[in-house]
């Protein structure tokens, strides 16, 4: 009996070692969905020791042998399913960061600039080439890019399909307004946009404008002039929330020639640099949004 009591206490302790971190992780994932399950993988050891204890305990009595068999089959099924997903199912494969780094190493030259998402060290870890690798937060785009860019430079912008640190598209706008998109590479989970700059990046010189769209007012605007026909037109709009917005709002832009032909369109959510939509803006708040109309 003393032995059973000791093993029971040990089993409960192992159960706590497993459920405690897992419960904390589940709560964390509700607050921050990008947290990765791998951070609790080390606690699976306690789970398997607990399963081994239960199999031994249930297998000692004839009445509970079926439960031991079911538990063993369940653990085996979950393990085989996980191994199959890990090794054979492409949906669970990691993003191709090494392929991106290899492509950049093959194309980027000394003096070029590679921009990667803030706090993402995967590309810098795998990349081995002469180009400069930098991280730029959207809130510091103009100052940082102004110092990093120069005329004739090639800039490689790396980002993820599933998530982005730049929900307002400030960096693509900045690069397009100072140059043009010349190539785009697609990989699993990531893409690379290649820009050739005509001048260093600088803030758009917006001009005063007065227009009202429901609860929103446009107070300033800037439209790129003289964009080559095979590139894109960059547009910046300064908004002021005059009254609370009941729903998230979008802006639809169209570029037409003198004969009325439409050459480009864009339909974007209006968001501040943090990705907050208009229904969560504060009345009186002013936000600049950035848009690109490919020709």
| Average pLDDT value over all residues in the chain | 90
Beta carbons of 287 and 269 less than 8 angstroms apart: no
Q: Which has the higher per-residue pLDDT, 233 or 17?
A: 233
Q: For residue 283, what is the DSSP state?
A: T
Distance separating alpha carbons of residues 151 and 27, to the nearest angstrom: 48
**pLDDT (0 to 100) of residue 2:** 47
| pTM: predicted TM-score of the whole model, two decimal places | 0.75
78: CB partners within 8 A, 6+ apart: none
Burial level of 104, CB count in 10 A (0-12/13-18/19+)?
buried
Please give the average per-residue pLDDT across 233-259, as a whole number: 95
Please give the average per-residue pLDDT across 188-202, as a whole number: 95
Beta carbons of 132 and 112 less than 8 angstroms apart: yes
Percentage of the residues of the chain whose pLDDT score is greater than 90: 65
Half-sphere exposure of 245 (CA within 13 A, CB side): 24
Distance separating alpha carbons of residues 25 and 29, to the nearest angstrom: 6
Measuring CA to CA, which residue among 228, 244, 231 is closest to residue 280? 244
């Amino acid at each position: 009996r003393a032995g059973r009591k000791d093993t029971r206490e040990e089993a409960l302790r192992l159960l706590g070692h497993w459920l405690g971190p897992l419960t904390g992780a589940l709560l964390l994932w509700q607050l921050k969905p990008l947290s990765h399950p791998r951070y609790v993988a080390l606690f699976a050891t306690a789970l398997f020791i607990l399963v081994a204890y239960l199999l031994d305990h249930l297998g000692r009595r004839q009445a509970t042998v079926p439960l031991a068999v079911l538990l063993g089959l369940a653990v085996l099924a979950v393990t085989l399913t996980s191994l199959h997903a890990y090794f054979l199912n492409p949906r669970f494969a990691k993003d191709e960061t090494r392929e991106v780094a290899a492509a950049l190493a093959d194309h980027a030259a000394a003096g070029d600039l590679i921009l990667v998402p803030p706090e993402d060290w995967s590309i810098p870890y795998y990349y081995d080439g002469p180009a400069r690798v930098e991280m730029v937060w959207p809130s510091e785009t103009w100052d940082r890019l102004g110092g990093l860019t120069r005329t004739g430079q090639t800039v490689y912008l790396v980002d993820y399909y599933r998530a982005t640190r730049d929900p307002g598209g400030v960096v693509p706008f900045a690069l397009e307004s100072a140059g043009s998109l010349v190539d785009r590479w697609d990989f699993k989970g990531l893409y690379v946009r290649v820009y050739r700059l005509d001048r260093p990046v600088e803030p758009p010189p917006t001009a005063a404008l007065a227009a009202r769209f429901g609860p929103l007012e446009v107070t300033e605007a800037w439209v790129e002039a003289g964009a080559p026909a095979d590139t894109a037109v960059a547009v910046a709009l300064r908004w002021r929330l005059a009254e609370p917005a009941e729903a998230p709002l979008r802006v639809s832009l169209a570029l037409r020639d003198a004969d009325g032909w439409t050459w480009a369109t864009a339909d974007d959510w209006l968001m501040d640099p943090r990705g907050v939509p208009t229904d969560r803006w504060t009345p009186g708040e002013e936000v600049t949004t950035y848009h690109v109309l490919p020709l």
